[in-house]
Structure 1
Amino acid sequence: MTYNEICIALSDAGIENNRGEAAMLICRFCNINKAELLLHSKDEDYPCEELEDAVIKRCSHYPLQYILGYWDFCHETYRVTKDTLIPRQDTEKLVELAIKLMPSNARFIDLCTGSGCVAISTLAARRDCRAVAVDLFEETLEIARENAETNNVGDRIGFDLADVLSVDFMDELGTFDCILSNPPYIETEQISLLDDEISYEPKAALDGGDDGLDFYRIIIGRYGKYLREGGIMLLEIGCDQAKAVSEISHGAGYRCEVYKDYCGNDRVAYITRI
């Protein structure tokens, strides 16, 4: 296939950034870089079966990130698979606040870690900190472990296989200066209404229960006893959940301040003891 043919195929399938994605697919599967691609004719044929298969997948709206096998987040690159939620720019605000608000030499925990991007990018910027990352699935934790090593923070992070909603496992992990999480927060009945591409992501990483608030009730209501003096929680929230999460926080005896993401939407709850 040629660059132009790929662009046309992607455009016909409704892919908006068809030119950019065509370039990424060619570079990924034909083992060339962007500078080399610019030197080639847009009508040059790339006889690569893997590339053709990738284009077919993308035309079915299978996520580009899963096809490429990696994605950039903050200043790091992460391996992603169907077992991990795709890192999004919205979540970079959570990392920014963690870097800024955690005390020196902090020990923090990242609940529902997925690819590990939140914990790892925080550690990459805060060389004084250590972390524990928790997820429900071993396949997901394996990806997070690999990402930690690739991004040179493997010596400062541990991993724990556990159900965040059970809480009991925390007794073995001790206390923390900060609890971070980008938990599932989409209402169960809304899952089937999401964009086609999101439907390929792991449901367990999206489904926050009937009202989308199950994880907030547990994390805010039951994890506080594992915070050290002056400890904080930083939780990503849905853009329409600020009021509900604030009410949960106040009911549990915490202050809650909500920060907006780079698009101006409510995105991170900063929770502290009253």
Structure 2
Amino acid sequence: MDEKIQPLKRFGQNYIFDKNIIQKIIDEFNPQSEDLVLEIGPGRGALTSELIGKTKKFIAVEIDKRIVKKLAEKFPELEIINEDFLKIKLESFVESNNKLRIIGNIPYNITSPILFKLIDERKFVSDALLMVQYEVAKRIIAKEGTKDYSLLSVLLNFFAQTEFCFKISPNVFYPKPKVYSALIKIRFYDSLQEDVDEKLFISVVKAAFGNRRKTLKNSLSNSIFRTIISRSSSDSISHLLSKRAEDLSIKDFVELYKYIEKNL
């Protein structure tokens, strides 16, 4: 890839170049011949060059027109989509029952929107292997009662199985970021253990973490669920409302959701 293409801050570009780390990532991804793979932000093609030709179909989504031109020259057989990943519809890339496998070194500044998009469109996604900021990775795998436990911890582990693969030094990127990165694996469940209205469940969890330093009752009293919560002082849900969001397990959040859903 042409070294003259300089990373752009507005796209959050940090190109990975260390061959040992690249190989570790590919080994973790373990591409198979029947896979349908989509790469988010291929950049200079470090991962692309290791994946192309190894799967049934390989698609790269790249927002930067400069890079698209260079990738097309280097990999003429590569299907490149010059779009913002957040604006594409994943359904349009799925073939029959073959779900997408997603890989990418994703921009730190849009990590949460990308993760929420994957949750929203997970029926078209088998799994994702993503390089994210180390602090975000810790939040993704955190357990209740810890300082890293967050909205992402609850939602990703409700809809998927998550795994922390390994920590990545800033020294393997250009330009060198000021923080460590980590590789995270997300495997979406084919079916959920709990029957929930997904949008409502997500809204409940978001509202609970709206003021994470406050008790759940105070936090939810400032949300769209305030009327329901104001009537709950003597109800069966009161044992949860005295806690903070970070102290609730996923099972507790499901219980809270069911109470709110019943009383809407």
Measured at CA, do residues 270 and 93 of structure 1 come closer, stay the same or move farther in structure 2, by a change above 3 Å? farther
1:135 equivalent among 62, 68, 93: 62
Which of 96, 102, 115 is matched with 1:179 structurally? 102
Give the Cα separation in 1 of the matches to 2:17 and 2:45. 15
Structure 2 SS opposite 1:235: strand
Which structure 2 residue ranges, 5 or more long, are not aligned? 142-152, 171-179, 190-264
| d(CA) in 2 for partners of 1:112, 1:262 | 18
Q: Which residue of 2 aligns with 1:256?
A: 162
8 Å contact from structure 2 (residues 134, 167) kept in 1: no
Whether the aligned pair in 2 keeps the contact of 1:95 and 1:122 (CA below 8 Å) is no
Match of 2:137 among 242, 267, 270: 242
Question: Partners in 2 of 1:184 and 1:266 — Cα distance?
Answer: 11
Q: Which amino acid aligns with 2:132?
A: I
- Alignment correspondent of 1:165: 86
CA contact (8 A) 1:110 1:132 kept: yes
Query: How many correspondences in the alignment?
Result: 161
Identity of aligned residues (%): 12
Q: List structure 1 segments (4+ residues) > 6 angstroms apart after TM superposition.
A: none
Counterparts of residues 1-274 of structure 1 (less than 5 Å): 69-70=2-3, 80-82=5-7, 85-89=13-17, 93=21, 96-100=24-28, 101-123=30-52, 127-148=54-75, 154-155=76-77, 157-168=78-89, 170-175=90-95, 176-185=99-108, 207-208=109-110, 213-219=112-118, 221-227=119-125, 231-246=126-141, 247=153, 248-251=155-158, 253-261=159-167, 263=169, 267-274=182-189
SS at match of 1:165: helix
Contact kept, 8 Å, 1:115 with 1:141, in 2: the verdict is no
> Aligned to 1:213, what secondary structure does the other structure show?
helix
Matched-pair contact (CA < 8 Å) for 1:106–1:130: yes
RMSD: 3.2
Q: Deviations over 1:190-249 (max 9, x none)?
A: xxxxxxxxxxxxxxxxx33xxx52322223x1342222xxx3210111121113334142
**Amino acid of the residue matched to residue 226 of structure 1?**
F
Give the residue type in structure 2 aligned to 1:225.
Answer: K
- Looking at structure 2, the residues matched to 103 and 93 of structure 1 have their Cα atoms a distance apart, in angstroms, of 20
TM-score between the two structures when normalised by the length of structure 2:
0.51
